[in-house]
């Protein structure tokens, strides 16, 4: 068995730096003059070749070190919802290692909790497992905005909303980094589709850039103090993101003051000079690194850089600056000192996976069917291939070798006492040809007819099989062709709903589906996302009422694809490899609400088994902030969680503004009959817009409406404020 611990150089490095004392002391010193002096002295010791060795990959998931000086390689791993299986130094899979780990719910599920504290717990698990496995950087969170329902990687990202994105990311990053491991905010920026991702050029207004696509990254940098950022594959305004002066130099390192390192996405460059000069610090992953003869020196940021410096085209100080950033990150993650131990596959980590799954589940519709009283259901039909399909090990780079994965079928059977008869029918087949298997539908219908209750578990998958590279719908490198469910699932759902009206429909997946054919006749619909290793248990507890659902949609579910702003106002998939984001800032509910398009389920929507009453709003201005207070009462019979959402509407403005924008929220748990005063403070930023005619943020004086609700379309209280 291989070992993950790298201890060989520690003693040497300790001597070299003469550093003594505990790890905490070093952390305090890491930005100090002493550390900077040590970094400078290391750089002075290095030859040019040694420096250049540090700015490109040295194996599939490491960048180079300088052994002579005790500088180790940096070790990276995907991310974003589990530490990936081992690759060894090349791309071939290491079979002989213990690398199955905690499989957390994916990004959209995390965002659906609307609970930033869970973001922190989530990050903590990743950091701890990454540390145990000898990693330095975990390649997550994924922060790209969910612009179209078709993007294959939506499941790895979080939301359509920049404010929710910003709030969830900070906890995640801090959770990882408090373990002494670097997080990596990716993919900077506008990798909002997989189709032609390596070539497509994204054009968007300054306003959309500032208001929609940048805030998540800004929060990661300025509030989370993220230590690394990964550039996106696509071009932005004509230049590849990883070589883009505006993105890397002007905005990230300039305006946002990012002090960490920028790495490229794997195999994403096409020009050495631009990459070197425009702010990239490490180039990762190309085919040149593949066996049998890996040639890392031939990377764009390899030997060519040495030649450019020697010929005076690039100043050596430019390379020094990259090495300085890399060394600074190494200090921050205690690379030169002994780390506290990480932990792996612990009960606590599994509990976090469960907690996130439980709070992520969204009850979309309930005509009195849910929760199901298990004492009244003696015969239950569980129908659908997704009921016993395992999702962890596919979908592209985010694949996780799960220590275990409780499927919905297992969760339901574990939960129910033995005297309940659970019958499973597959209902449809997950195959590459996407064909409809009518005999499976017939069998499912007869199962549903005989049952008191049937539970349909349907939706998307990452892969057609358990082959790691067999990407399907929610997957890297490929977008969906449609929002319609594949494999004849609509036919199955309609037939089962006729056979047994007491049917719960559970949707698995990371993105919306077109439900128009059956949404009206389904009495209960649950969005379960990809719930991680504990997803099946959490789902069963929600269905049978041991857990009261408290998740809220982090994205709008349109009725049909054509309703989505990227497909009506904007462009998708673009023409001649150019995508104009003509919808500008009207992404997600900003479009649906302003243009009065009825969604299937609105942003922020999520029902509960209890009811919440909102009352007594007060809006006060103090010291430039606006304090919104209200009373929230759990007026139903059971305990439950609610996400109080605060939206701001600008009533008069020189530039067009969305009907409303999320600017604050709070998740609260109340017992039956309990009342709590909720306070949410909005600062100036909540009222501003980016004026791209003036290139500045503007707070235009005038009246603003404050809308408080249980979703973007379920506003319970409102009031005005003059700014």
Interface residue list for ligand BGC (CB under 6 A): 78-79, 139, 186, 265-266, 397
- State phi, psi for 132 to the nearest 5 degrees: -60, -35
Is the CB of 152 or the CB of 551 nearer to ligand BGC? Answer: 152
Q: CA-to-CA distance for 217 and 39, rounded, in angstroms? A: 27
8-state DSSP, 85: P
78/121 with CB nearer ligand BGC: 78
The span from the first CA to the last CA of the chain, in angstroms, equals: 65
Residue 364 CA, chain-centre distance (Å), reads 21
Q: Rounded CA gap, 411 and 394, in Å?
A: 21
Query: Token match 């040694």: residue?
Result: 50
Residue 604 and residue 662 in contact, taking contact as beta carbons nearer than 8 Å = yes
Q: How far is the CB of 244 from ligand BGC (least distance, A)?
A: 17
Give the three-class secondary structure for 720.
strand
| DSSP-based three-state secondary structure for 378 | coil
Specify burial of residue 545 (Cβ count, 10 A radius: 0-12, 13-18, 19+).
middle
Q: Among residues 165 and 350, whose Cβ is nearest to ligand BGC?
A: 165
Which pair of tokens denotes residue 700?
């235009």
Given the DSSP bridges, would you call strands 703-711 and 640-650 parallel, antiparallel or unpaired? antiparallel
Query: What is the Cα–Cα distance from 639 to 653, expressed in whole angstroms?
Result: 42
> How many CA atoms, within 13 angstroms, populate the side-chain half-sphere of residue 24?
0
Which is closer to ligand BGC, CB of 241 or CB of 451? Answer: 241
Contacts of 34 (CB under 8 A, 6+ apart): none
Minimum distance between the CB of residue 265 and ligand BGC, rounded to whole angstroms? Answer: 5
> Using CA of residue 573, residue 578, residue 581, residue 587, what is the dihedral sign?
positive
Could you please report the per-residue DSSP string of 262-311? EEPPTT--S-HHHHHHTT--BB---GGG-SSS--GGGSTTTHHHHHHHHT
In terms of CB distance, is 184 or 682 closer to ligand BGC? 184
Query: For residues 241 and 493, which CB has a smaller minimum distance to ligand BGC in the complex?
Result: 241
CA-CA distance, 459 to 431, in Å (whole number)? Answer: 14
State both tokens at 241.
Answer: 């993101």
Q: How many residues are recorded in the chain?
A: 723
Tell me which residue has tokens 């902030």. Answer: 625
> What CA–CA distance (Å, rounded) separates 355 from 121?
9
In the complex with ligand BGC, which residue's Cβ is closer, 235 or 716?
A: 235
- Give the tokens for residue 201: 């050029």
**d(C-alpha 184, C-alpha 84), whole Å:** 15
In eight-state DSSP terms, residue 142 is B
Closest residue to ligand BGC: CB criterion? 397
Q: With CA atoms as reference, report the closest residue to 273 among 245, 305, 251.
A: 305
Q: How near is the Cβ of 200 to ligand BGC at its closest, in Å?
A: 14
Measured from the CB of residue 185, what is the shortest distance to ligand BGC in angstroms? 11
Q: What are phi and psi of 507, to 5 degrees?
A: -100, 125
Residue 396: CB minimum distance to ligand BGC, A: 7
Nearer to ligand BGC, 230 or 680 (CB): 230
| Residue of 237, 165, 208 lying closest to 590 (CA atoms) | 208
Pair 160, 55: CB distance under 8 Å: no
Instruction: For the CB of residue 552, give the shortest distance to ligand BGC in the complex, in Å.
Output: 26
Cα gap 335→657, rounded to integer Å:
47
CB of 56 to ligand BGC, least distance (A): 15
Sequence-ordered list of residues with C-beta below 8 angstroms from that of 576, at least 6 positions apart, any chain: none
Cα–Cα distance measured from residue 710 to residue 650, given in angstroms and rounded to the nearest whole number:
20
The rounded distance, in Å, linking the Cα atoms of 272 and 624 is 48
Of 97, 92, 58, nearest to 74 by C-alpha is 58
Closest CA to 508 of 373, 609, 409: 409
* Nearest distance from C-beta of residue 109 to ligand BGC, angstroms: 18
Q: 79 or 510, CB closer to ligand BGC?
A: 79
Q: Would you say 337 or 398 has its CB closer to ligand BGC?
A: 398
**Smallest distance, Å, CB 77 to ligand BGC?**
8
Cα distance between residue 118 and residue 114, in whole Å: 9
**CA gyration radius for the chain?**
26
**Nearest to ligand BGC of 222, 397 (CB atom):** 397
Instruction: Give catalytic status of residue 691 as yes or no.
Output: no
Residues 245 and 200 sit within 8 Å (Cβ to Cβ): no
Which lies closer to ligand BGC via its Cβ, residue 81 or residue 277? 81
Least CB distance to ligand BGC at residue 188 (A): 11
Which residue number, 267 or 580, has a Cβ lying nearer to ligand BGC? 267
Active-site entry in 78, 265, 490, 563: 265
3-state helix, strand, coil split of the chain in percent (to 5) is 30, 20, 50
CB of 139 to ligand BGC, least distance (A): 4
In angstroms, what is the minimal distance from the CB of 78 to ligand BGC? 5
Q: Nearest distance from residue 51's CB to ligand BGC, in Å? A: 24
Which residues share a beta bridge with 670? 640
- As annotated, the active-site residues are 265
């Amino acid at each position: 068995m291989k070992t993950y611990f790298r201890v060989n150089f520690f003693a040497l490095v300790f001597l070299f730096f003469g550093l003594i004392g505990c790890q905490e002391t070093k952390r305090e010193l890491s930005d100090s003059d002493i550390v900077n002096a040590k970094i400078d002295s290391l750089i002075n010791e290095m030859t040019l070749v040694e420096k250049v060795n540090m700015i490109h990959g040295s194996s599939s998931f490491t960048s180079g070190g300088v052994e002579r000086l005790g500088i180790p390689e940096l070790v990276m791993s995907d991310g974003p919802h589990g530490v990936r299986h081992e690759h060894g130094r090349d791309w071939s899979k290491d079979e002989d290692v213990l690398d199955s780990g905690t499989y957390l719910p994916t990004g959209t599920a995390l965002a659906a909790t609307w609970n930033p504290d869970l973001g922190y717990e989530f990050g903590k698990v990743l950091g701890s497992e990454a540390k145990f496995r000898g990693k330095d950087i975990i390649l997550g969170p994924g922060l790209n905005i969910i612009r179209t329902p078709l993007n294959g990687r939506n499941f790895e990202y979080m939301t359509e909303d920049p404010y929710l994105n910003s709030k969830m990311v900070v906890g995640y990053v801090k959770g990882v980094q408090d373990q002494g491991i670097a997080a990596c905010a990716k993919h900077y920026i506008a990798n909002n589709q997989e189709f032609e991702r390596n070539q497509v050029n994204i054009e968007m207004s300054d306003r959309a850039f500032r208001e929609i696509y940048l805030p998540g990254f800004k929060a990661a940098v300025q509030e989370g103090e993220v230590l690394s950022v990964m550039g996106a594959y696509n071009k932005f305004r004509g230049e590849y993101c990883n070589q883009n002066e505006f993105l890397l130099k002007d905005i990230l390192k300039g305006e946002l003051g990012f002090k960490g390192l920028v790495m490229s996405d794997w195999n994403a460059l096409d020009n050495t000079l631009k990459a070197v000069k425009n702010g990239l610090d490490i180039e990762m992953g190309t085919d040149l690194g593949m066996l049998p003869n890996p040639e890392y020196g031939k990377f764009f940021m390899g030997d060519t850089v040495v030649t450019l410096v020697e010929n005076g085209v690039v100043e050596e100080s430019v390379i020094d600056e990259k090495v300085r950033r890399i060394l600074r990150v190494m200090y921050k993650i205690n690379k030169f000192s002994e780390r506290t131990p990480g932990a792996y596959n612990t009960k606590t980590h599994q509990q976090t996976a469960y907690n996130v799954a439980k709070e992520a589940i969204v009850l979309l519709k309930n005509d009195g069917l849910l929760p199901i009283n298990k004492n009244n259901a003696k015969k239950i039909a569980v129908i659908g291939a997704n009921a016993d399909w395992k999702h962890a090990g596919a979908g592209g780079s985010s694949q996780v070798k799960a220590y275990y994965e409780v499927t919905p079928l297992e969760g339901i059977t574990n939960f129910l006492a033995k005297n309940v008869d659970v019958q499973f029918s597959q209902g449809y087949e997950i195959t590459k040809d996407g064909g409809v298997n009518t005999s499976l539908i017939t069998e499912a219908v007869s199962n549903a007819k005989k049952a008191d209750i049937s539970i349909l578990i349907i939706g998307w998958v990452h892969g057609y099989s358990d082959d790691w590279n067999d990407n399907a719908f929610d997957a890297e490198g490929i977008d969906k062709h449609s929002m319609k469910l594949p494999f004849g699932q609509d036919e199955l759902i309609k037939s089962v709903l006729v056979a047994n009206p007491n049917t719960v429909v559970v949707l698995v997946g990371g993105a919306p589906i077109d439900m128009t054919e059956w949404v009206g006749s389904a009495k209960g619909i649950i969005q379960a996302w990809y719930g991680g290793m504990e997803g099946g248990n959490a789902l069963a507890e929600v269905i049978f009422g041991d857990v009261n659902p408290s998740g809220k949609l982090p994205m709008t579910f349109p009725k049909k694809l054509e309703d989505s702003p990227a497909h009506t106002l904007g462009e998708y998939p673009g023409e001649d490899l150019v995508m104009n984001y003509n919808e500008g800032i009207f992404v997600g509910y900003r479009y649906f609400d302003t243009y009065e398009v009825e969604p299937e389920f609105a942003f922020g929507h999520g029902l509960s088994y209890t009811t919440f009453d909102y009352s007594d709003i007060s809006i006060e201005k103090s010291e430039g902030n606006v304090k919104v207070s209200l009373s929230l009462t759990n007026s139903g019979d059971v305990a439950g969680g609610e996400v109080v959402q605060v939206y701001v509407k600008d009533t008069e403005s020189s530039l067009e503004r969305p009907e409303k924008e999320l600017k604050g929220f709070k998740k609260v748990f109340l017992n039956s009959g309990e009342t709590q005063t909720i306070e949410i403070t909005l600062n100036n930023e909540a009222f501003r817009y980016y004026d791209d005619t003036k290139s500045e943020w503007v707070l235009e004086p005038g009246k603003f409406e404050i809308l408080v609700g249980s979703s973007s379309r379920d506003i319970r209280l409102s009031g005005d404020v003059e700014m």
